[in-house]
Amino acid sequence: MHNQLRFIIAAAALLAANAALAQDAKVGSLVGDVHQGQQVYRRYCIGCHGARGDGLGDNAPWVDPKPRDFTSATFKCRSTPTGTLPTDEDLFNTIGRGLHATAMPSWGALTKQQRINLVAYIKSFSPRFKEEKAGDPIPIPAESPATAESVHRGAELFQKMNCWSCHGKQGHGNGPSSVGLTDSKGFPITPYDFTSTSQFKCGEGSHDLYRAFMTGLDGTPMPSFADSLEPSAAWDLVHYVQTFGTSKGRVKPVPAGTIRASAPENRPSPADSKDKAKAGGGSEQQ
């Protein structure tokens, strides 16, 4: 009788463990299912990310930047500190938002259940998700006012922190260090061109940009500035970077020319008015 009881308890524990494995992604009330996620992955993702999630799908040779290798569990867009695993919500949001300036489109047309199922399946590619917990999301303090002074301080930080060396003095992504950059897998990578769009890689809001500064984009040369930037300074930098793009009301209007013209190091160079590809990396080495 005791043996039977033990057997029943063991079987129940096994079933519970299986259920836990099969539902190892959660966002709000949504619970992801690995097996369902596999079907969704096969339908939508396999062409680029590959059957093994290693980013070596059939289309990968023609995709630039290269598809994410899920087996390394290294993700650009996180709310968690650099080097840590993303939260389920981070992955869920990335799938829904897509990654601007890459071949990864927004999958917002999928149902939320499909997306959380995908998160569950994507996590199954790396043992890290079984061995480690996701990092704690970094705190994001309330945004300081986007005043002209804040933008000016941000311009100085952009210079001081050497952001320009990769992203270019005008934010075109063509700074002197932009040549020869590679990602963590050795593939060539170019710094983001802030002037090309109102969107950024990990979201278009001020908070998304702040988060990217503080978490870094893991797997790329973009480091985390969490240890070197005070929150107020990070907001200043956000406000300055937002002046580069074709922003649509994200930042309060700044009188044209007053900020960038007042920073001598930010005077437009002839190369900045040319095609980015032609300007290359060395064009801004004045």
Partner 1 sequence: MQIPVLKRAVAALFVAVVVSLASRPAMAIPAFARKYGLPCSACHEAWPKLNNFGQTFRDNGYQLGNDRDAPIYQNPSYFPSTVRITPQWHMENSGRTAVDAVPGNASSGLVESRNIRSSGFDLSGFDLWTAGTVSKNISFLVLPSADATAAFHFESFWVRFDNLLGTHWLNLKVGKHELDLPVSEKRELTLSNDGANYQVYHFAPGNPLLPLGNGQVNGFGLGNNQLGLELSGHSHNSYTRYAFSLVSNTDGQPNLPSSSGYDFYAHLSQAVELPHMGLQRFGVLGFRGVVPTYFQTANGAVISGSGAGDRSFYRAGAYGIWYLGKFDLSTVFMHGQDSAFLATGTPSTQVLPAGGRSATWNGGFAELHYNPNPQLVLVGRYELIRMAQQGFPLGTLLTNNHPLFARFGNIDNYVLGYRWYPIMISRGGLAWHQEYSWLRSLGTAPLSGLNVAGSSYMMGFDVAF
Q: How far is the CB of 186 from partner 1 (least distance, A)?
A: 21
Is residue 83 within 8 Å of residue 72, measured between CB atoms? no
Contacts with partner 1: how many residues (CB under 8 A)?
Answer: 29
Q: How far is the CB of 162 from partner 1 (least distance, A)?
A: 27
Task: Count CB-CB contacts under 10 A for residue 9.
Answer: 10
Of 22, 26, 56, 59, the one binding partner 1 by CB under 8 A: 59
Write out the two tokens for 15: 């079933």
Task: Give the C-alpha distances (Å, rounded to integers) separating 40 from 99, 111, 226.
Answer: 19, 11, 36
Site string for partner 1, 189-208 (x = CB under 8 A): --------------------
Q: How far is the CB of 46 from partner 1 (least distance, A)?
A: 5
Q: Does 26 bind partner 1 (CB under 8 A)?
A: no
Could you tell me which stretch among 42-50, 154-162, 257-265, 271-279 binds partner 1 (CB under 8 A)? Answer: 42-50
Q: How far is the CB of 148 from partner 1 (least distance, A)?
A: 27
Q: How far apart are CA 150 and CA 129, in angstroms?
A: 40
Q: State the DSSP code for 26.
A: E
* Helix H or strand E segment including 30: strand 30-32
Q: State the DSSP code for 271.
A: G
Q: Does 103 bind partner 1 (CB under 8 A)?
A: yes
Q: How far apart are CA 216 and CA 267, in angstroms?
A: 27
Q: Does 46 bind partner 1 (CB under 8 A)?
A: yes
Is residue 101 classed as helix, strand or coil in its secondary structure? Answer: coil
Chain position carrying tokens 């996620």: 37
Q: How far apart are CA 18 and CA 21, in angstroms?
A: 5
Q: Does 47 bind partner 1 (CB under 8 A)?
A: yes
Q: How far is the CB of 111 from partner 1 (least distance, A)?
A: 5
Q: Which is nearer to partner 1, 104 or 217 (CB)?
A: 104
Of 11, 13, 19, 51, the one binding partner 1 by CB under 8 A: 51
What part of residues 108-137 is at the interface with partner 1 (CB under 8 A)? 108-114
Give first-to-last CA distance, the chain, whole Å.
86
Q: Which is nearer to partner 1, 249 or 264 (CB)?
A: 249
Q: How far is the CB of 113 from partner 1 (least distance, A)?
A: 7
Q: How far apart are CA 68 and CA 5, in angstroms?
A: 47
Q: How far is the CB of 44 from partner 1 (least distance, A)?
A: 5
Q: Which is nearer to partner 1, 183 or 236 (CB)?
A: 183
Q: Which residues of 104-142 are buried (b: 16+ CB within 10 A; e: fewer)?
A: beebeebeeebbbbbbbbbbbbbeebeeeebbebbebee
Q: How far is the CB of 109 from partner 1 (least distance, A)?
A: 4
Q: Does 106 bind partner 1 (CB under 8 A)?
A: yes
Q: Does 102 bind partner 1 (CB under 8 A)?
A: yes
Contact residues for partner 1 (CB under 8 A)?
A: 39, 42-48, 51, 58-59, 62-63, 98, 100-114
